[in-house]
C-alpha cells in the first residue's frame, strides 16, 4: 500500500489522497467504514492515471459523487474510492433554447442556481436535490413530476480502459430512478449536455422557492439521511404504505423511520449500516405482511460485506 501511495503522488497532489479514510465523512447518511484509499479527482488526466494504476495492479475501484444516496458498509471499502470533483460548465444559447454542458462533479443544487442566474427554465425541480450531476444521471433523479430524462440531451463517459464514449438520450434507457449506468458498473460519467428554455428570473425563483419550502416542510432535512429510502411502487406511494403500517418513529439502534416523512430512514445519532439494513429489512417484511406489496430500496449499498 505504501508503494501505491507513492505511485499516486506522481500525478495527484497528496492532499487529494486520503488513506484509511472514514466514508462516514463523505456520505449524507454519516455512515460508513474506512476506504483503503480515498482520492478526490480534479480532472480527466488524474482520472485516467488512477484507472491505469488500478487496472495494472488489479485494484478494486469504487466511484462516488457527493454520497447522498449511499449506504456504505461498516467494514468500509477495499481498494480505491474516487470522488469525481470535476465541476466545469458551459452555456450555449440558441434561438429557442439553451444547452448546458455540465461536468459530473457539479452539484445538482448549484446547477439549479446557475439556471436561475442565466434565466433558464425547466430545471427548477433540481432545487434542493442533493448530490452531483453524475449521480443524478445514474439514478434519473427527479422531483415534483420531472426527471433528468426530461432535460438530458447526451452524456459522455469513460470506460475502465480510458476510452471516452457518448450516449444520446434514448441510449440512456432511463426509467424510474434508473438508467443504463446502473448496469454499466465499470464506467465513469464525465459530463452531460442538458437543455433548458428561456424564462423569467422572477417566475423561476418563485417556483424554486415553492419547491424548497415543500422540502423543508415535509422532509427530515435536520437529520442525516440518504434521501428517499425506498422507490415508489408504480402509482403506490411507498411512504404512505410505511405510515399505514404504523412504522413512523420505529427504530433499531440509531437508525429510525422519520417521524416527519415515513419514506426516509434517518440517522438519529451514531447509526451503523448494519442497523439501517436491519431496519429496512424489517420495513420491507412488515409492508409485505400487512399490505402484500413488495417494496424496493432506492439507496445504494456499497462496500465490503
* SS3 readout for 44-66: HHHHHHHHHHHHHHCCCEEEECC
b/e for 187-223, b at 16 or more Cβ within 10 A? bbbbbbbbbbeebeeeebeebbeebbeebeeebbeeb
Quote the strand ranges of 104-163, DSSP E. Answer: 120-121, 142-143, 146-147, 152-159
Count each helix (H run) and each strand (E run) in the chain, helices first: 7, 17
Residue 40 is placed in which grid cell? Answer: 478526490
| Rounded Cα distance, 59 and 30, in Å | 26
Task: Tell me if 32 sits within 8 A of 273, measured CB to CB.
Answer: yes
The residue among 124, 185, 133 whose CA lies nearest residue 159 is 185
Residues designated catalytic: 177, 228, 298
Amino acid at each position: 500500500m505504501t508503494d501505491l501511495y507513492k505511485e499516486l503522488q506522481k500525478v495527484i497532489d497528496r492532499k487529494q489522497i486520503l488513506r484509511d479514510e472514514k466514508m462516514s465523512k463523505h456520505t449524507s447518511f454519516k455512515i460508513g467504514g474506512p476506504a483503503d484509499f480515498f482520492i478526490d479527482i480534479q480532472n480527466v488526466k488524474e482520472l485516467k492515471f488512477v484507472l491505469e494504476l488500478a487496472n495494472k495492479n488489479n485494484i478494486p475501484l469504487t466511484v462516488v459523487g457527493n454520497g447522498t444516496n449511499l449506504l456504505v458498509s461498516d467494514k468500509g471499502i477495499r481498494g480505491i474510492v474516487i470522488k469525481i470533483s470535476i465541476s466545469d460548465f458551459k452555456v450555449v444559447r440558441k434561438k429557442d433554447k439553451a444547452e448546458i454542458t455540465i461536468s459530473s462533479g457539479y452539484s445538482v443544487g448549484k446547477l439549479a442556481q446557475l439556471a436561475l442566474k442565466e434565466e433558464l427554465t425547466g430545471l427548477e425541480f433540481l432545487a434542493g436535490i442533493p448530490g452531483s450531476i453524475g449521480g443524478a444521471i445514474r439514478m434519473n433523479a427527479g422531483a415534483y413530476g420531472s426527471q433528468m430524462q426530461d432535460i438530458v440531451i447526451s452524456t459522455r463517459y469513460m470506460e475502465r480502459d480510458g476510452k471516452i464514449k457518448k450516449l444520446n438520450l434514448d441510449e440512456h434507457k432511463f426509467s424510474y430512478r434508473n438508467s443504463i449506468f446502473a448496469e454499466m458498473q465499470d464506467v465513469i460519467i464525465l459530463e452531460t449536455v442538458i437543455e433548458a428554455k428561456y424564462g423569467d428570473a422572477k417566475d423561476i425563483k418563485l417556483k424554486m422557492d415553492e419547491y424548497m419550502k415543500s422540502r423543508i416542510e415535509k422532509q427530515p432535512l435536520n437529520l442525516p439521511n440518504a434521501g428517499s429510502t425506498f422507490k415508489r411502487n408504480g402509482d403506490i406511494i411507498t411512504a404512505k404504505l410505511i405510515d399505514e403500517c404504523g412504522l413512523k418513529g420505529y427504530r433499531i439502534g440509531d437508525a429510525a423511520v422519520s417521524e416527519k416523512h415515513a419514506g426516509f430512514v434517518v440517522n438519529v445519532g451514531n447509526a451503523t449500516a448494519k442497523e439501517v439494513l436491519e431496519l429496512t429489512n424489517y420495513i420491507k417484511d412488515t409492508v409485505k405482511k400487512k399490505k402484500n406489496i413488495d417494496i424496493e430500496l432506492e439507496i445504494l449499498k456499497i462496500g465490503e460485506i
